[in-house]
Amino acid sequence: MTRVIDGRALAARLRARLAAEVAALRAGRGIVPGLRVLLVGEDPASAAYVRTKEKMAREVGIDGRVVRLPSEVSEAEVLARVAAWNADPAVHGILVQLPLPAHIRTRSVLEAIDPAKDVDGFHPLNAGRLATLSGPPPEELLVPCTPRGCLLLLEEALGDLSALRGKRALVLGRSTIVGRPMAALLLAHDATVTIAHSRSRDLAEECRRAEILVVAVGRPELVRGGWLAPDSVVIDVGINRVGAADGTSRLVGDVAFAEALGRVAAITPVPGGVGPMTVACLLDNTLRACRRQLVVEG
């Protein structure tokens, strides 16, 4: 029987722990972790995601604030906002919601964020530290939120991350946001890792060899049930909206969920799997960044 890994429940437990730790930090040192989110433009999906981040931050006691700027804002204005937050001791975490408008260079903005406040884990310094790990990431390393959430979901399914040791793991997707950092995390836990992508030959056969499969390609139900190894563990990062003939729509993942049930050992649903964990890990990164900065400041 396939276990459906409940990302909502796991995220709720993580948020409860964070709320207790944030309350203790406030009571003991009078410090409230501060998170600033920059949203440029009116992309509906980004706006909805940012509202969720703001709401969840408030619920765990983090001072989370969103600054919304019009799509025609200049790159210089965006960089000035980031610089101000870098210099503000009350701000411990900075997140610039992607994608940015075409006239703003994403790389320039991400590189402008203080690596110690980079709670998305996208700064080249943090990415480089993750890529060169020789073991599990240290507490102070800010790991990208979605891959970290995936790792926690794997821990939930396997019971212990030591179970990854030696397992054949396939990451389907090579983005710098999910695929590559996910592969680095799996390697850090001694899995035998393959990265496949749109240019890979015979994706179905690659998937059939995998005991651990993480799919992040953004193509609805690309991975069919027959592609999956029996008793494998599947983490589906994809969130795709598909329409029906009657004009309604629904969210599906990159894996054909119904076909996977009864075949794999465990799988995340869409929605309710990776998404809630991404937001919870953002809040966790904010608290980690706050603690790290308090240590540095003495």
How much is the CA Rg of the chain, to the nearest whole Å? 19
**Strands (DSSP E) along the chain, which ranges?**
3-4, 34-40, 63-69, 93-96, 168-172, 192-196, 212-215, 233-236, 240-243, 249-252, 266-267
Q: Which listed residue (120, 236, 254, 284) is catalytic?
A: 120
Q: Which is it for the CA torsion 259, 250, 282, 193, positive or negative?
A: positive
Domain boundaries, the chain: 30-113, 143-275
Q: Which listed residue (97, 117, 118, 236) is catalytic?
A: 97
Going from the C-alpha of 19 to that of each of 58, 61, 138, 140, 280, the distances in angstroms are 10, 6, 22, 19, 11
pLDDT band at 75 (very low <50, low <70, confident <90, very high): very high
Q: In sequence order, which residues have a C-beta less than 8 Å from that of residue 282 and are 6 or more positions away?
A: 35, 53, 93, 95, 119, 120, 145
> Are 30-113 and 143-275 equal in CATH topology?
yes
- The dotted CATH code for 30-113 is 3.40.50.10860
* Nearest Cα residue to 182 out of 218, 215, 231: 215
Average the pLDDT over 158-168 and give the result: 97
pLDDT band at 298 (very low <50, low <70, confident <90, very high): low
Rounded to whole angstroms, how far apart are CA atoms 86 and 84?
A: 5
Instruction: Report pLDDT for 244.
Output: 75
Average the pLDDT over 79-88 and give the result: 98
Q: Which of 74-78, 146-150, 196-200, 292-296 has the lowest mean pLDDT?
A: 292-296
Instruction: Report pLDDT for 170.
Output: 98
Taking only the tens place, the pLDDT of each residue in 42-56 is 888 899 999 999 999
Going from the C-alpha of 226 to that of each of 207, 234, 256, 258, 260, the distances in angstroms are 9, 13, 10, 11, 8
Q: For all residues of the chain together, what is the average pLDDT? A: 96
| Residue 246 annotated as catalytic | no
| Paired residues of 35 in beta bridges | 64, 93
Instruction: Report pLDDT for 43.
Output: 86
Q: In sequence order, which residues have a C-beta less than 8 Å from that of residue 199 and are 6 or more positions away?
A: none
Q: How many helices (H) and strands (E) does the chain have?
A: 10, 11
Q: In sequence order, which residues have a C-beta less than 8 Å from that of residue 138 and are 6 or more positions away?
A: none
pLDDT band at 296 (very low <50, low <70, confident <90, very high): confident
Instruction: Report pLDDT for 295.
Output: 84
Average the pLDDT over 232-245 and give the result: 92
Taking only the tens place, the pLDDT of each residue in 201-215 is 999 999 999 999 999
Pick 249 or 71 by higher pLDDT.
71
Rounded to whole angstroms, how far apart are CA atoms 184 and 150?
A: 12
The CATH-assigned architecture of domain 143-275 is 3-Layer(aba) Sandwich (3.40)
Taking only the tens place, the pLDDT of each residue in 94-141 is 999 999 999 999 999 999 999 999 999 999 999 999 999 989 999 899
| Residue 293 annotated as catalytic | no
Which two tokens mark 287?
A: 């608290």
Instruction: Report pLDDT for 102.
Output: 96
Taking only the tens place, the pLDDT of each residue in 264-291 is 999 999 999 999 999 999 999 999 999 9
Average the pLDDT over 14-27 and give the result: 98
